Amino acid sequence: MQRSHLVKHQAIHTGERLHKCLDCGKSFLQRSHLVQHQAIHTGERPYKCLDCGKSFILRSALVRHKVVHTGERLHKCLDCGKSFIRRSELVYHQAIHTRERPHKCVDCGQSFIRKSELVQHKAIHTGERPHKCLDCGQSFIRRLNHVCHQSVHTRQRPHKCVDCDKSFIRRSHLVQHKAIHTGERPHKCLDCGKSFIRRSEFVYHQAIHTGERPHKCFDCGKSFIRQSALVRHKVVHTGERPHKCLDCGKSYIRRSNLVQHKAIHTGERPHKCLDCGKSFLQRSHLVQHQATHTGERPHKCLDCGKSFMLQSALVRHRVIHTRERPHKCLDCGKSFIQRSEFVYHQAVHTGERPHKCLDCGKSYIRRSHLVQHKAIHTGERPHKCLDCGKSYIRRSQLVQHKAIHTGERPPQVLAL
């Protein structure tokens, strides 16, 4: 072992961070990490791609980027023949075949494939959020989440799809999006042959076969497939709602819920449809709406050929073929297709109605019910029929109404 590697390793035990940023005081174990961090203050990106002009803070980032132009994948898995751009991705992939998880948490015994995943996991025990946004003060466990968050302030979406000009904040989102054009589903389940676009969906699916729920709540013993689900669950015990609205004091478990709520005060709807001018709070709602104009239904069921605008709609539809109900209530044993239905059902046992109308004080289990209720106070009818101009409070009412013009029977809701 080189002496430099020993010095880096010893810092794990001593906690010593020798390399300090003179601009903000943040310290790092390695000098290379300090150099990378300083680019936040200087804005310097010295490594430039000669093919497209894009610049990077790290030379290694430029090397990884070049593969976009060359298409080269040097690292091949000898077990299944799959190839990867980075060696680290190959090592991570091989764990699918070996099921090895060498990085173990000393606090709870949970094991991980990557050391970086263990480091992120430890924040659950320590509460540490080392990546702080200098614009708004919000802190993050992962550096990637911090980088992604910064786009809220810069509005930069550097990863562009060459097929449809759609842009993304994260490269991983672009890779997932490309599957719409290519139809590629690289993550295949060896137990049942089912394939997935995203690795996270593949990992989640495997729990159906293994029954493994590695993320356990120490307060009540309940276990979860995903770590994010455990984080959301913990709020049941702590009551913590860290994301607070500065205008009205209302607090939320998730930051995304706070962002949506803020639009009530600002009236801002940043995502605008270029075809009809309609604006939306969430970009996902705009994407869903745009299918109204394009007629595009990119998500196709391989069992019956039916197509859907949203991938989530396809997932719900597939239950007709699989009869799978993965979300089970521990109080009464009832199972559900969708997690949202499961969460809604839990309110039967808890009596919780978190969505309150500020005008009359009435409370609801679902936020969508509160939105519909508000129309009583505002008189707003956002769902308009383009054939006759009649407007409705609920989209479902508009769908039913359209059958008058088309003669088509509205879709039936599955009995659960």
Instruction: Identify the CATH number of the domain in which residue 1 sits.
Output: 3.30.160.60
For 198-219, what is the mean pLDDT? Answer: 76
User: pLDDT band at 413, cuts 50/70/90?
Assistant: very low
At 20 the three-state DSSP class reads strand
SS3 of the chain: helix, strand, coil, percent, to 5 = 45, 15, 45
pLDDT at residue 120 tops 60:
yes
Residue 5 domain-assigned?
Answer: yes
264 closest CA partner among 359, 403, 133: 359
pLDDT score recorded for residue 119: 78
Q: Is the pTM of this model over 0.85?
A: no
**Which residue has tokens 């013009």?**
405
For 329-355, what is the mean pLDDT? Answer: 79
82 and 92 Cβ atoms separated by less than 8 Å: no
22-60: pLDDT as tens digits? 888 788 777 877 877 777 777 777 888 888 888 887 787
pLDDT at residue 357 tops 50:
yes
Residue 299 domain-assigned?
Answer: no
Distance CA 113, CA 131 (A): 23
Distance CA 329, CA 346 (A): 7
141 and 131 Cβ atoms separated by less than 8 Å: yes
pLDDT at residue 415 tops 50:
no
Residue 162 domain-assigned?
Answer: no
Distance CA 142, CA 150 (A): 13
Distance CA 42, CA 38 (A): 6
User: pLDDT band at 414, cuts 50/70/90?
Assistant: very low
Q: Which residue has the higher pLDDT, 69 or 400?
A: 400
Residue 24 domain-assigned?
Answer: yes
Residue 323 domain-assigned?
Answer: no
pLDDT at residue 346 tops 70:
yes
pLDDT above 70 coverage of the chain, percent: 93
Residue 181 domain-assigned?
Answer: no
pLDDT score recorded for residue 338: 74
pLDDT at residue 399 tops 80:
yes
Residue 34 domain-assigned?
Answer: yes
Q: Which residue has the higher pLDDT, 48 or 255?
A: 48
For 294-319, what is the mean pLDDT? Answer: 80
For residue 88, give the H/E element and its range.
Answer: helix 87-98
pLDDT score recorded for residue 12: 60
Residue 143 structure tokens: 């550096």
273 and 290 Cβ atoms separated by less than 8 Å: yes
Count: domains in the chain: 1
Residue 79 structure tokens: 């077990």
Residue 220 structure tokens: 């009540």
Residue 32 domain-assigned?
Answer: yes
Give CA 407 to chain center in angstroms: 39
For 302-319, what is the mean pLDDT? Answer: 80
Average pLDDT, the chain: 77
pLDDT above 90 coverage of the chain, percent: 0
For 199-254, where are the alpha helices, taking DSSP H only? 199-210, 227-238
pLDDT score recorded for residue 11: 62
At 401 the three-state DSSP class reads helix
Host domain of residue 46: 1-72
For 295-353, where are the alpha helices, taking DSSP H only? 311-322, 339-350
